Structure 1
Amino acid sequence: MDPMHIALPVVGIVAVAAVTFYAVSFAELREKSFRNLDESDDENGGFSSSLSSRGRRARRKAEKEAKK
């Protein structure tokens, strides 16, 4: 048997194993990243919309009225 007949399948198996390893690693990193993003949103109260500027205006108005 020619050594090429043995080496080619071995190289193919090693290549598929490497691609699988990187694909699984990337999927785990992405999942961890999304999990961290969700946890940080929970800590910060999530996405703050334009309601924050309305809240600031309402707070300033209340402070002005309280001073009077």
Structure 2
Amino acid sequence: MDSFQQIGLPVVGIVAAAALTFYVVSFAEMREKSLRNLEERETAYENGGFKSSLSSRERRARRKAEKEAKS
């Protein structure tokens, strides 16, 4: 039991902390994306009705701009 406490317990703690961090980051990203989509819908509504879905070219351009903004 002594060897488990010295090695196993810290490993279990590290794995638990990693899992918790993963879920926190994932939910934060989902929340951010959801809020961004809501903001876009509100902006489109204010500009004279709803906007149809983006073309693939517009989506690629937006993703590229977001990646460049993060860098």
**TM-score, normalising length: structure 1:** 0.65
**TM-score, normalising length: structure 2:** 0.62
Distance in 2 between residues matched to 1:4 and 1:43, nearest whole Å: 59
Greater gyration radius? 1
Distance in 2 between residues matched to 1:12 and 1:30, nearest whole Å: 27
Q: Which runs of 5+ in 1 are unaligned?
A: 48-68
Instruction: Give the aligned CA root-mean-square deviation in angstroms.
Output: 1.5
Q: Equivalent residues in 2 for 1:18-57 (5 A)? A: 18-45=21-48, 46-47=50-51
Task: Determine whether 1:14 maps to 2:14.
Answer: no
Q: Which runs of 5+ in 2 are unaligned?
A: 52-71
1:5 to 8, 19, 40: 8
Query: Which runs of at least 4 in structure 1 moved beyond 4 Å after TM superposition?
Result: none
Residues paired across the two proteins, number: 48
Q: Which has the higher contact order (CA 8 A, sep 6+)?
A: 2
- Give the share of equivalent positions with the same residue, in percent: 11
Distance in 2 between residues matched to 1:4 and 1:24, nearest whole Å: 31
Counterpart AA for 1:40: T
Distance in 2 between residues matched to 1:33 and 1:26, nearest whole Å: 11
1:13: how far off? Answer: 0.3
